[in-house]
Amino acid sequence: SIKNRHDVNYCIYDDIIRDGLRRQQFVVDHIDEAIANDYIKVFYQPIIRVETGKICGYEALVRWIDPNDGMLPPSYFVETLEKFHLIHFVDEFVVKKVCQDIRRLADQGEELVPVSINVSRLDFEVCDVFKLLSDFCEIYQIPHNMLEVEITESAFNDNTGIIKDATKKIREADFDVWIDDFGSGYSSLNTIAEYEFDVLKLDMVFLRGYEKNPKSKPLMKYIVSATNAMGILPLCEGVETEESYEFLKEIGCNMAQGYYFSKPMPLDALIDSMYAKGYEWEELG
Ligand code: C2E
Ligand code: MG
Ligand code: MG
Ligand code: MG
């Protein structure tokens, strides 16, 4: 009956809410312990220079590896930590880990490329992101041009000026600023003109849509050429097929990232795997 069906739906909905709340509670209750016990890990995904096919960078992507629950992806905890204003604890930890990893590679004489780190919009409200980056670079003796910060496009919709001022300071100190997830939300083309930044990451929604939607290809081509014309480097996320990689070559997209090249992995495993696949690393400029 309609009533029963309604009850079933109601129960399912109730379960989803209860699971969501349970997960939130778990995340909030255990984040300190996870950081303290090194359950928070940094995985890396290579970024490829389209023109040469060489590795020109890595993106640092956080993982929570819980001894009982296994690997928890950012979708499990980032939003919750943002909601409870705890995300900066994770981001600070990631910056430190990345600097330690770069130092270790340098000491081992391994190939080095810059690493881009995702920072939450909320980090800018509770901590000095510039100081965070420069302090860890100082401690681990890392040149600033080895780090880039990725800030999601929607963060630029703030009218407080906090992000604008902070990113200006960060860029003046020779860290690059990248805009992440462009095109996924309420993109404003004006953001591109309004803010100073170095790389525009086109969200994977573009590549996901482009097989089905004939308007996607010309739109990407247009964004890529506008970006190039402004002296900003375009990077396309979510490259999963040879065909989409070929398309990026065709439209002059500077960088590419996606499962086609590699999934995010622990650093040493990634380096081994990329060597095995015959990739080369770009010389530091
Ligand atoms: P993002 O920065 O846009 O990162 C790209 C996401 O797409 C990553 O998911 C990556 O694993 C995934 N990805 C890469 N290539 C492909 C592909 O070819 N196909 C598909 N389907 N997916 C691909 P991940 O690692 O789960 O991260 C999700 C989001 O969590 C990130 O999106 C970022 O917004 C956030 N995040 C990750 N690490 C951190 C961090 O350290 N701090 C903060 N504040 N946020 C983080
Ligand atoms: Mg990112
Ligand atoms: Mg992104
Ligand atoms: Mg994204």
pLDDT along the chain (285 residues), means of 10: 54 70 92 97 98 98 94 95 96 98 97 97 94 98 98 84 93 97 81 89 90 87 95 97 96 98 98 98 90
3-state secondary structure the chain: CHHHHHHHHHHHHHHHHHHHHHHHHHHHHHHHHHHHCCCEEEEEEEEEECCCCCEEEEEEEEEEEECCCEEECHHHHHHHHHHCCCHHHHHHHHHHHHHHHHHHHHHCCCCCCCEEEEECCCHHHHCCHHHHHHHHHHHCCCCHHHEEEEEEHHHHHCCCCHHHHHHHHHHHCCCEEEEEEECCCCCCHHHHHHCCCCEEEECCHHHHHCCCCCCHHHHHHHHHHHHHHCCCEEEECCCCCHHHHHHHHHHCCCEECCCCCCCCECHHHHHHHHHHCCCCECCCC
Atom 37 of ligand 1, nearest CA residue: 61
Single-letter amino acid code for the residue at 267: L
Q: What is the pLDDT of residues 81-129, one digit of tens each?
A: 999 999 999 999 999 999 999 999 999 999 999 999 999 999 999 999 9
Ligand number, closest to the Cα atom of 258: 1
Which of 95, 101, 118 is the best mutation target for the ligand 1 pocket, counting ligand atoms within 8 Å of the beta carbon and taking the most? Answer: 118
Atom 24 of ligand 1, nearest CA residue: 74
Which of 59, 61, 63, 78 is the best mutation target for the ligand 1 pocket, counting ligand atoms within 8 Å of the beta carbon and taking the most? Answer: 61
Q: Which residues line ligand 1 (CB under 6 A)?
A: 45, 61-62, 73-75, 78, 87, 90-91, 94, 118-120, 150, 152, 180-181, 204, 237-240, 257-259, 264
Distance 118 CA to ligand 4 centre (A): 10
Query: Which ipTM was obtained for this model?
Result: 0.98
pLDDT (0 to 100) of residue 1: 45
| Radius of gyration of the CA atoms of the chain, in A | 20
With CA atoms as reference, report the closest residue to 194 among 237, 149, 158.
158
Of ligand 1's atoms, which has the minimum distance to the CA of residue 42?
41
**Spatial separation of the C-alpha atoms in residues 34 and 42, rounded to whole Å:** 13
Distance 257 CA to ligand 3 centre (A): 10
pLDDT (0 to 100) of residue 8: 57
Is the distance from CB of 59 to CB of 264 less than 8 angstroms? yes
